[in-house]
Structure 1
Amino acid sequence: MSEPTGKYSITMPRDIAEAAKARSGPSGLSAYVAAAVARQIERDNLNEIIQVAEAEHGPISDEEIQSVRDQLHHARNQQQAQGGADAA
């Protein structure tokens, strides 16, 4: 069962609304906008977590960020290689 919905009126620049409408596909503009807002809420929540962590432990360095990116890239490559081996 899906979440209950409500009807809201929003205002946005026409060019953004038209671009969203053109990209919304069969699910429609409302679903497209709802997904975009849900992603923004996730980002806002992550930013709050980062702010709390940085307040407690200090800011994250560029080197730490790059290290984690490298680890994720390596893990993704391993997973893709493993998936290719499993398909054979």
Structure 2
Amino acid sequence: MGDPARTDKMSVTIPSDLAAELRARAGRGNVSAYVTDALVRQLEHDRLGDLLAELAEEHGPVTEDELAQARAEWPDR
């Protein structure tokens, strides 16, 4: 991520009920930090999706056999 000391001020419009829940969860003084953390997670998720699409395009879709093998080798949580 970029330099934490450098920020841009943005304005967003969200539904009132969502804004109220956000304020309740984050607290009025922490809304920007809460939204920034959520945005970082979403961007990571989006980049992972981009990578998966690129790999599927290059190597083809993952087969059911490959999924079963990966699940069998993955440690239990």
TM-score by length of structure 1 reads 0.67
User: Counterpart of 2:4 in 1: which secondary structure?
Assistant: coil
1:1-88 counterparts in 2 under 5 A?
2-25=4-27, 28-62=30-64, 64-65=66-67, 67-69=69-71, 71-74=73-76, 76=77
Alignment: residue pair count: 75
Tell me which structure has the larger Cα radius of gyration: 1
Question: Hey, which bits of structure 1, 4+ residues long, moved more than 6 A?
Answer: none
Unaligned runs of 5+ in 2: none
Q: Percent identical across equivalent pairs?
A: 36
Q: Deviations over 1:11-32 (max 9, x none)?
A: 0111111111111148600110
| Higher helix proportion | 1
Query: Does 12-21 or 59-68 show the bigger shift?
Result: 59-68
Q: Which position in structure 2 is the counterpart of 1:79? A: none
Q: Deviations over 1:35-67 (max 9, x none)?
A: 111111101100000000000111124554455
**RMSD across aligned positions (CA):** 2.5
Unaligned runs of 5+ in 1: 77-88
